[in-house]
Homo-oligomer: A and B are copies of this chain.
Amino acid sequence: MNHIYKYKMVEDLVDGGTFLLNCHYTVDELEEKLPASMKKYIADHKINFYIIDGVKIGIETGMGATRINTILQSAFFKLTGIIEEKKAISLMKEAAKKTYGNKGEDVVKKNCDAIDRGATGIVKVNVPSSWKSIKVTAEKPQTIKGSKEVVEFVKNIQIPVNNREGDKLPVSAFVKYMDGKTPSGTSAHEKRGVAVRVPVWNKDNCIQCNFCSFVCPHAVIRPVAMTNEEVKNAPSGMQVKDMNGMPEYKFSIVTSVLDCTGCGVCCEACPGMRGEKAIKMVELDKALNTQEYFDYANILKEKDDVAEHYKETTVKGSQFKKPLLEFSGACAGCGETPYAKLVTQLFGDRMYIANATGCSSIWGNSSPSTPYTKNSKGRGPAWNNSLFEDNAEFGYGMMLAHSTLRKSLIKVAEELMTKSEGNLKVALNEYLNTQNNSKNNLVATDNLVECLKNSKSELAKTLLDKKDFLSKKSQWIFGGDGWAYDIGFGGLDHVLASNEDINIMVFDTEVYSNTGGQSSKATPSGSVAQFAAGGKEVKKKDLASIAMSYGYVYVAQIALGYDMNQAIKAITEAENYNGPSLIIAYAPCINHGIKKGMGKSQIEEKLAVECGYWHTFRFNPMAEDKFTLDSKEPDFNKYNEFLAGEVRYSSLALKNKEKAVVLDEKNKNESIARYNYLKAL
């Protein structure tokens, strides 16, 4: 819908051409909603104008709000008459049977209903002659806020590209970026408005748990602590309530509705109060006004005492820190991004990321937009993408380069300390004492840099020259299971074996997600995937056990939707561990075909652990009891129900019932064996 405000949608039409707009407006509402320029063009050029509510039909036929291409395709054939209507519909239905036959009769039926409804759902709009005489005023140019480099990039590259005019850009526009660097935080300037429904906060039912923010894949919904002064200056209508435990502050939940994808994960996660949720999903245009609240909250000063009071390493406290991954291009309901976002909230201000090509490179940087961003101090993750097959090595190289540079600086600092006194000596001492802790060392480095500025020593100058490399960095390697279990595994193993301080996060969707669902070694028995169309015959590889065999590698399996606390604990321990760490995060994906929909992706994680399909644990080489099985005794009776809830499993039974029973049983038995093995540890 938002497209009519963003793109020139009718201007390419010839006189008497046909325009079909997918929207939820009635014919009467169009008068108010359509931009003046569009209305005038339609009237001036005698456009045949139709509307259709594809989303409504999608929901009614069971296709869902996002799978409306079938509906619109059917409407297209009806309107264009390229193929005779009856024939077109029959061909489309045949195709649907062929494509979705394997996924079950209900899926085929939904598609056929959608095809029928698409052809009948179009409504002809009688264009009022008054539209001819509309006065079109020039649109006021968009104001872009941000640093000079961001403004330049957004204006010169991002806006033209997003307006589909990228191919008109001259090469000279890219000269500034020819080393491959682009500014952080540009995704915030997209404001795509792609959601059909967005969350609206009802303060009366809110217990201030911050779960909604914790689970949001796109970082669009956030808690905010405001002073009374800030509340006074807030846009009118902004809701606040007394903040629990900190009476000097007011609390609010704000949403960047124009960045929201409308998955509803926040709403599902909301515990609410007395059975009533604090979050309700409403149509985007009914909540457009709330964008202003978010924008206001977003420029308020971060409250150090709030983060201090609630502790950043708790579920609640972590959400008062700005996510340094926001408004990415991830799918609605993505299971990967909540993990990545959390990592940036904890360590983003001092973080290097080496990213394996795959989904995490798509949501991590879908050109021309960068969702990794900076905090108010101008600090954020340094992110770079590598080839699928050598990302672990790439991250290892980043770490080695930094640590080599830094070691030489530490030597200089040590020498300088023997020649210093007073504040500088104290600062150097603190810097050296904290050198292995990325959080404390960042504070110590800031202080040291200030002191160095007052020194006339050549050594101080050497340190200042390379001040970006002084502080301890949090080195991360991100990638999916296709990378970690398969193609990049040789390198991943090598980095784990190195015994260097480096952290690896695996977003385990159990399938090659970005390339459309090929089987990986993380794919469990019985799962249907490309290259395993008859159900995978070989069990899921036990990456955690392999990593644990080294003895000196921190290893954890987490599932945020099952246990947010355990996830945050594991991530924090991994980063603190002065050696290699591997975190394997269970991440639901659109490729799973979760029958309840991706809005329930976090609930699916919960079910996966409760039924014993996934287990959460931590292996900490520094702990007295190295191994902790965090997830509770599973109820394996729920196992088959869980499998039946996902098309990747349920579809096999339609093709080959007997085989499906055998493989599902195999899958279950492998999980039971795995659980018993973990319990024995």
Residues of A within 8 A of B (CB): 486-491, 493-494, 497-499, 521, 537-539, 541-542, 545-546, 549-552, 673
Number of copies: 2
Q: 9 other contacts beyond A486-B490, A539-B552, with CB at 8 A cut-off?
A: A489-B490, A489-B494, A490-B493, A497-B538, A499-B537, A538-B552, A539-B550, A539-B551, A541-B550
Chain B residues whose C-beta falls within 8 Å of the C-beta of A490 in the assembled complex: 486-491, 493
Docked pose: A487 CA to B393 CA in angstroms: 12
List the B residue with the shortest CB-CB distance to A499: B538
List 17 A-B pairs, Cβ < 8 Å.
A486-B490, A487-B490, A489-B493, A489-B494, A490-B490, A490-B493, A493-B493, A494-B521, A497-B538, A499-B537, A499-B538, A539-B552, A542-B549, A542-B550, A545-B549, A546-B546, A549-B549
Q: How far is the CB of A662 from chain B (nearest CB, A)?
A: 15
List the B residue with the shortest CB-CB distance to A540: B497
List the B residue with the shortest CB-CB distance to A492: B490
Docked pose: A542 CA to B497 CA in angstroms: 10
Docked pose: A255 CA to B490 CA in angstroms: 44
Chain B residues whose C-beta falls within 8 Å of the C-beta of A550 in the assembled complex: 539, 541-542
Of B538, B539, B549, the contact of A546 (CB 8 Å cutoff): B549
Docked pose: A550 CA to B485 CA in angstroms: 13
List the B residue with the shortest CB-CB distance to A545: B549
Docked pose: A39 CA to B678 CA in angstroms: 79
List the B residue with the shortest CB-CB distance to A674: B551
Docked pose: A552 CA to B538 CA in angstroms: 9
Chain B residues whose C-beta falls within 8 Å of the C-beta of A545 in the assembled complex: 549
List the B residue with the shortest CB-CB distance to A389: B490
Among A490, A499, A551, A552, the one with the most B-chain Cβ atoms within 10 Å of its Cβ is A490
Chain B residues whose C-beta falls within 8 Å of the C-beta of A537 in the assembled complex: 499
List the B residue with the shortest CB-CB distance to A491: B490
Docked pose: A486 CA to B497 CA in angstroms: 10
Among A486, A488, A537, A546, the one with the most B-chain Cβ atoms within 10 Å of its Cβ is A546
Docked pose: A521 CA to B546 CA in angstroms: 14
Inter-chain contact A538/B486, CB cutoff 8 Å:
no
Docked pose: A656 CA to B486 CA in angstroms: 41
Inter-chain contact A541/B486, CB cutoff 8 Å:
no
Chain B residues whose C-beta falls within 8 Å of the C-beta of A493 in the assembled complex: 489-490, 493
Of B486, B491, B494, B673, the contact of A494 (CB 8 Å cutoff): B486
Chain B residues whose C-beta falls within 8 Å of the C-beta of A497 in the assembled complex: 521, 538, 541
Docked pose: A497 CA to B497 CA in angstroms: 20
Chain B residues whose C-beta falls within 8 Å of the C-beta of A538 in the assembled complex: 497-499, 552
Docked pose: A491 CA to B489 CA in angstroms: 9
Q: How far is the CB of A407 from chain B (nearest CB, A)?
A: 16
Docked pose: A549 CA to B486 CA in angstroms: 16
> Which 4 pairs from chain A and chain B are nearest by CB?
A490-B490, A545-B549, A499-B538, A489-B490
Docked pose: A539 CA to B552 CA in angstroms: 10
Q: How far is the CB of A518 from chain B (nearest CB, A)?
A: 14
Docked pose: A494 CA to B538 CA in angstroms: 12
Chain B residues whose C-beta falls within 8 Å of the C-beta of A673 in the assembled complex: 551
Chain B residues whose C-beta falls within 8 Å of the C-beta of A486 in the assembled complex: 490, 494
Q: How far is the CB of A20 from chain B (nearest CB, A)?
A: 49
Docked pose: A386 CA to B589 CA in angstroms: 38
List the B residue with the shortest CB-CB distance to A486: B494
List the B residue with the shortest CB-CB distance to A673: B551
Docked pose: A570 CA to B551 CA in angstroms: 27
Docked pose: A541 CA to B499 CA in angstroms: 12
Chain B residues whose C-beta falls within 8 Å of the C-beta of A499 in the assembled complex: 537-538
Q: How far is the CB of A487 from chain B (nearest CB, A)?
A: 7
Q: How far is the CB of A582 from chain B (nearest CB, A)?
A: 14
Docked pose: A511 CA to B546 CA in angstroms: 22
Chain B residues whose C-beta falls within 8 Å of the C-beta of A488 in the assembled complex: 490
Docked pose: A57 CA to B199 CA in angstroms: 90
Q: How far is the CB of A655 from chain B (nearest CB, A)?
A: 21
Docked pose: A326 CA to B267 CA in angstroms: 73
Docked pose: A490 CA to B490 CA in angstroms: 4
Chain B residues whose C-beta falls within 8 Å of the C-beta of A539 in the assembled complex: 550-552
Docked pose: A493 CA to B491 CA in angstroms: 12
Docked pose: A498 CA to B489 CA in angstroms: 15
Q: How far is the CB of A549 from chain B (nearest CB, A)?
A: 4
Chain B residues whose C-beta falls within 8 Å of the C-beta of A489 in the assembled complex: 489-490, 493-494
Docked pose: A673 CA to B486 CA in angstroms: 30
Docked pose: A549 CA to B681 CA in angstroms: 14
Docked pose: A494 CA to B488 CA in angstroms: 11
Chain B residues whose C-beta falls within 8 Å of the C-beta of A487 in the assembled complex: 490
Q: How far is the CB of A497 from chain B (nearest CB, A)?
A: 5
Q: How far is the CB of A667 from chain B (nearest CB, A)?
A: 14
Q: How far is the CB of A619 from chain B (nearest CB, A)?
A: 14
List the B residue with the shortest CB-CB distance to A498: B538
Docked pose: A481 CA to B643 CA in angstroms: 41
Q: How far is the CB of A553 from chain B (nearest CB, A)?
A: 11
Docked pose: A486 CA to B393 CA in angstroms: 12
Chain B residues whose C-beta falls within 8 Å of the C-beta of A549 in the assembled complex: 542, 545-546, 549
List the B residue with the shortest CB-CB distance to A496: B541
Docked pose: A550 CA to B497 CA in angstroms: 19
Chain B residues whose C-beta falls within 8 Å of the C-beta of A498 in the assembled complex: 538
Docked pose: A491 CA to B673 CA in angstroms: 26
Chain B residues whose C-beta falls within 8 Å of the C-beta of A541 in the assembled complex: 497, 550
Q: How far is the CB of A493 from chain B (nearest CB, A)?
A: 6
Docked pose: A489 CA to B496 CA in angstroms: 13
Docked pose: A494 CA to B493 CA in angstroms: 13
Q: How far is the CB of A199 from chain B (nearest CB, A)?
A: 42
Chain B residues whose C-beta falls within 8 Å of the C-beta of A552 in the assembled complex: 538-539
Among A486, A549, A552, the one with the most B-chain Cβ atoms within 10 Å of its Cβ is A549
Q: How far is the CB of A265 from chain B (nearest CB, A)?
A: 33
Chain B residues whose C-beta falls within 8 Å of the C-beta of A542 in the assembled complex: 549-550
Chain B residues whose C-beta falls within 8 Å of the C-beta of A521 in the assembled complex: 494, 497
